[in-house]
Amino acid sequence: MKTRFLASSMLAVLTAACATTPDKVPMDIAAAPAVPEATSAFAELSALPFHAPDFTALSDADYQPAIEEAIAIKLAEIEQIATNPAAPTFSNTIVAMERAGQVYSRATAAFDQKVSADINDTLAAADEALAPQRAALSDAIYLNPQLFARVKAVYDKRAAMSMTPEDAMLLELTYADFVHNGALLSDAAKAELKQINGRLSELGAQIPQRITEGQADAALVVDTVEELSGLSDGQIAAAAAAAEAAGMPGKYVLAMTNTTSHPMLAQLDNRTTRERLYRANSTRNYTGDDETVDMIREVIDLRTQIARIFGTPDYATWRMYDRMAKTPERAIGFMEEMVQAVRTTQEREAAEINAMIAREGGDFTVQPWDWPYYAEKIRQERYALDNEAIKQYFVVDNVLEDGVFFAANKLYGLTFEKRNDIPVYAEGVSVYTVFDADGSELALFYFDPFQRDSKGGGAWMNNFIEQSHLLGLKPVIANTLNVAPPAPGQPALMTWDDVTTTFHEFGHALHGMFADQQYPSISGTNTARDWVEFPSQFNEPFAAVPEVLQNYAKHWQTGETIPMEMVEAIDRASKFNQGYDFGELLAAQLLDMKWHSIAPGEAPTDVLAFQEEALGSTGLRTDLVPPRYYTPYFRHIFGHGYQAGYYSYTWTNMLAKDGYAWVEENGGMTRANGEHIRETFLGQGHSKSYGQMFRDFTGHDPEVGPLLDALGLTHGTPNIGSKCEDGEKGCVG
């Protein structure tokens, strides 16, 4: 979840804001402590277009002192608010907090992206040193009794105040955040919580670094080209180049991927190589210098202690206070409703694979390293689908400019202009000005597509600058991916998964670009985990709209548009192998909830034994279909804020499939539909409740049927409506 008033490690949140205020009582500045003068490169908004961060203005070593200075400034700003002798008002308390921390927000936004996308030893050391200081800053805000007394005083008189709907939402959320973060705890409990938060922040910085290092260190060395049979010439050349760069000429190096299942498992003919690749990829971070198990054990124990301090049954209950799902029981019930259908599909698919193995004379049954390979053979046999052949139609720049941008133009009227005058944080990053339908400048957009050793796994969106009307700021947004870089002299190509990921992340970008809020705390993507993935997953299907696909899917050598039979094969195959593709995701989501449903005092001492027991209890065939992430490299929940929230990818996919059904039923990709989408939810941030925004968009409460239909799963699950009874299985709320 994005934290208000502070920047998260992945999605930096601007906390400087303002509002249309219902009162005008000024702060007595003379009675407040002085605010230190800012001296770093982040002291003022940059002079670059859109106030984009100037990455040439400081070295990597400058970030830590700049952020430490910004922390001191924000602490003083907060203390001014807390000690203001004037009576608390919405203006001098709630809005004042929104204004605080502008230097801090600018500094951490740039730093967090550097750490995530281009880390080095200097940045890693700074991140580790800053993590407890940033946690202490959060505690200084939320556990400040004078500050909370002012917030509560304003909250208690809200019924008598004249506020805009956005004012009212900000006040409700601010009060709820303070309570959630411990404002009502005793002094002793606050002190204990501060200690726990400090240690968790340290671990939250260390674990992702080790995961990144473990992914790099686990690279598989292969001796002969024969062992790589099935890979393309380009992939083999890239593996040879990687080995050469690593000082092993004549050998081949296969880099690991973020997820348990490696895409090359679907291609490698040599079963021994497949098993070696799978084991190297799925056992990283278990032992050795990159081991994370001990740190994860400590994280889980500390999180159960937080549940104890707050008197909740488990950490998930405490964590989900602001979610659309509201309770872990509701989220777990939603997922468990799908388990039987997924398991049935897994067993049917496993039987089909075993039949193929037998037909080919194999004397074994399918194992996790075999499943992707034989599933791909069945896919090609059944749907005439060759993923390597399909890849030739997806040139990276074409996917972005002629696909993603083209769809955004057709639906929302946006246009894009590439520019070369904006400093970037790493080689290979491109920048575009985004123009709104009326021709006005809307946003600045960074695109960082290629995998590198210094980049964390996965894909994400972040804000360098958060939209704010009162501050006059427009959004500056980045999309970061991990597309395999091309071998020298070869084109940069994407898999179909890469293509949909590009559209997915741009859905996040649109959510940020269309932000139209007064307060950055509730602007754009500053929403709950189980809502923020809705706009991104909603944008994915536009990748396959024929008008869009035919505009960008062109063979890199011949220029030929992707043949319709290939498009039809992709569409037919979209429901294929869901026992594996959806099963690995569902297993990881249930594993996350099991880790965070542990009662206080019951944290396990054996992390791997708990993982085995937890996966065995899911009801899924995790012996054949492993979770997308095993615990030691589950970066989402041990470093990136998705703890007790990884379910949100399926929850929001349910919202997205239901929402896209509305688009199809109402004329498809039209400008009128684009305006409706923007006005009802994509441009609304958290200015309204999530249920209200969804009803404004579709005219009804969310329904799970379109998701199960899209996955090709038999469903008898009830509609997931916001008006069902608390605790009812399958009910969203």
**Cα-based distances in Å from 302 to 141, 205, 299, 590, 633:** 21, 15, 5, 20, 19
CA-CA-CA-CA torsion sign (146, 151, 154, 156): negative
d(C-alpha 448, C-alpha 284), whole Å: 26
**Contact predicate 482/117, CB 8 Å:** no
pLDDT in tens, 326-373: 999 999 999 998 999 999 999 999 999 999 999 999 999 999 999 999
State the alpha helices, DSSP H only, in 462-545.
496-513, 529-539
- Any catalytic annotation for residue 505? yes
Q: Which residue shows structure tokens 């090709």?
A: 712
**Cα-based distances in Å from 8 to 54, 110, 459, 484, 533:** 20, 12, 16, 27, 16
Partnered with residue 450 across adjacent β-strands are 483
pLDDT of residue 32: 58
d(C-alpha 367, C-alpha 352), whole Å: 13
Radius of gyration of the chain (CA): 25
Point out the residues of the chain with pLDDT beneath 50.
1-31, 715-733
CA angle 282, 288, 292 (to 5 degrees): 65
pLDDT of residue 386: 80
pLDDT of residue 21: 31
Per CATH, domain 394-561 is 1.10.1370.40: yes
**Cα-based distances in Å from 502 to 113, 390, 418, 431:** 18, 16, 17, 15
Token pair belonging to 628: 């997308």
CA angle 247, 252, 255 (to 5 degrees): 95
pTM as predicted = 0.84
Alpha-carbon torsion, ordered 414, 416, 421, 427, to 10 deg: 110
Mention every residue, 6+ apart, whose C-beta is less than 8 A from residue 270: 226, 227, 228, 229, 230
Fold designation for 29-207: Neurolysin; domain 3 (1.10.1370)
The DSSP H or E segment spanning 443 is: strand 441-450
CA-CA-CA-CA torsion sign (295, 301, 302, 304): positive
Segments of the chain assigned to CATH 1.10.1370.40: 29-207, 394-561
Grouping H, G, I as helix, E, B as strand and the rest as coil, residue 445 is: strand
Partnered with residue 733 across adjacent β-strands are none
pLDDT of residue 381: 86
- Single-letter amino acid, residue 151: V
Catalytic residue among 69, 337, 376, 505: 505
pLDDT in tens, 76-123: 999 999 999 999 999 999 999 999 999 999 999 999 999 999 999 999
- Single-letter amino acid, residue 222: V
